[in-house]
Amino acid sequence: MGRKGPIELHVMLSAGGKSFGLERGALVEKTLHRPGARRTARIALGLVVLVTLIPALVVAVDSSDWVIFVALGAGVCAAAYAGLGLHLSAGRTPRWLPAVNCAFYASVISGLMFVFIVHGQVRTLSWLPILFLLYILLIGASCLRQEERLPLVSGAVSAFQLLAVTAYARQAAPEAVGDRAEALLREFDWVRTAARLFILSAATVLATELARRGRMLHEQTFRDTLTGLLNRASFDQVLDAQVERSRKQRFPLWIAMLDLDHFKQLNDTRGHAVGDLVLRRVGETLQTAFGEHAIVGRYGGEEFVAVLTDSSEANVLARLEAVRRALEELDTRDPRSGAALAVTVSIGAACWPEDGADLGQVFRSADERLYAAKKAGRNRVELGQWAA
């Protein structure tokens, strides 16, 4: 099958070769998104601990009402739950878990309100507005994960439970003794509850928009804004993670350098707007043509780079040739004149560790083969002894 190196003793599991490694989406999630989720889990734990200090301070000053001890216990339980969430954030967590977390924290707040209503003294009931503010804190904190659905879940659950608490408090007020009845009716007046619902709605809208903008900004930090591919810095991060997996599991990596042919001439004759259109179409095509088992990024200008985890040079050659043909057959036209635009690509690829134990050397080998493909006439793939 062409050149053979020691790595093939470990990876040639079948005559046709084999593809290794995580899918692109999973690897990008693990490398670029999960650290942010872990930071959010740390912040959530810190916020819960700070809130738990409120009943702790009250108990230290005045421990006459056992309901405050219940609030302290609820805070400790919520902190333990947040600690568990921080532990789980180190691995891959289900997408539904953050929404469950939001509903859980809202339910803890509402549960405390029910306990205060049933068993709290008049002095204890004065803490109910503080509990309402915790709803606002929850909605605000839920936007840290940069998922629009989480502030919506937090806001909806908080509003629904606040209505339930209000209805229960007004039903329980006539049975309360003395000042407790007046305090409950005053605290859960329907007008006051309506105002609180308006505040929860406003907080939900703001948090949702902040989550949306945060997600967009986060995407822009690791994706090329024109093509949607990984930018150079993010590609290098994901590549480092894949190399580490390759070392542990002993499978090879192929680095493919791709350069559009005569792109500068196209920019000069057709204009940068047309050049940008071509780059967008190329980015879309590369995402589709390489599939989920390759990491693809834009290295700058008209240069792209991909990492493949096939064990067979023949497989790599076939995949890169398919990418070359997909770009060659791309139907792209000048939007002003309608003229067809010829899009071709030259590709050079090298294998780690066969072409060098140092990743920089592998890149240099791939780059040399890219220029060999250019020199041989462009619109071709070059893998050293293998070429198309």
pLDDT, tens digit, 9 for 90 and up, residues 371-384: 999 999 999 999 87
**Which carries the bigger pLDDT value, residue 35 or residue 156?**
156
**Confidence band for 14, pLDDT divided at 50, 70 and 90:** very low
- Say if CB 205 and CB 136 are below 8 A apart: no
| 10 contacts: CB under 8 Å, gap ≥ 6 | 250, 251
User: CATH homologous superfamily of domain 8-18+251-387?
Assistant: Reverse transcriptase/Diguanylate cyclase domain (3.30.70.270)
**Confidence band for 32, pLDDT divided at 50, 70 and 90:** low
**Confidence band for 294, pLDDT divided at 50, 70 and 90:** confident
What DSSP element (H or E) covers 333? strand 332-333
Tell the residue number behind the tokens 């060659």, with chain if given.
328
Percent above pLDDT 70 for the chain: 89
Rounded distance between C-alpha atoms, residue 287 and residue 23, angstroms? 13
**Confidence band for 177, pLDDT divided at 50, 70 and 90:** low
- Say if CB 377 and CB 371 are below 8 A apart: no
Output the pLDDT for position 27. 57
What number is the average pLDDT over the span 342-358? 88
What number is the average pLDDT over the span 5-10? 33
pLDDT, tens digit, 9 for 90 and up, residues 79-101: 999 999 888 877 777 788 899 99
The rounded mean pLDDT for the chain is 84
Rounded distance between C-alpha atoms, residue 280 and residue 287, angstroms? 11
Return the closest-CA partner of residue 17 out of 2, 32, 33. 2
**Confidence band for 38, pLDDT divided at 50, 70 and 90:** confident
Residues designated as active site:
302
Extract the tokens encoding 308: 């493949």
Out of 35-44, 115-124, 267-276, least confident range: 35-44
pLDDT, tens digit, 9 for 90 and up, residues 211-250: 999 888 877 788 888 898 988 888 888 888 888 887 877 7
Delimit the CATH 3.30.70.270 region(s) of the chain.
8-18+251-387
Q: Is 158 helix (H, G, I), strand (E, B) or coil?
A: helix
Residue 163 pLDDT greater than 60, yes or no: yes
Residue 63 pLDDT greater than 60, yes or no: yes
Percent above pLDDT 90 for the chain: 44
Out of 10-14, 143-147, 161-165, 216-220, least confident range: 10-14
Residue 325 pLDDT greater than 90, yes or no: yes
Extract the tokens encoding 332: 């792209």
Residue 5 pLDDT greater than 50, yes or no: no
Output the pLDDT for position 30. 58
Output the pLDDT for position 26. 56
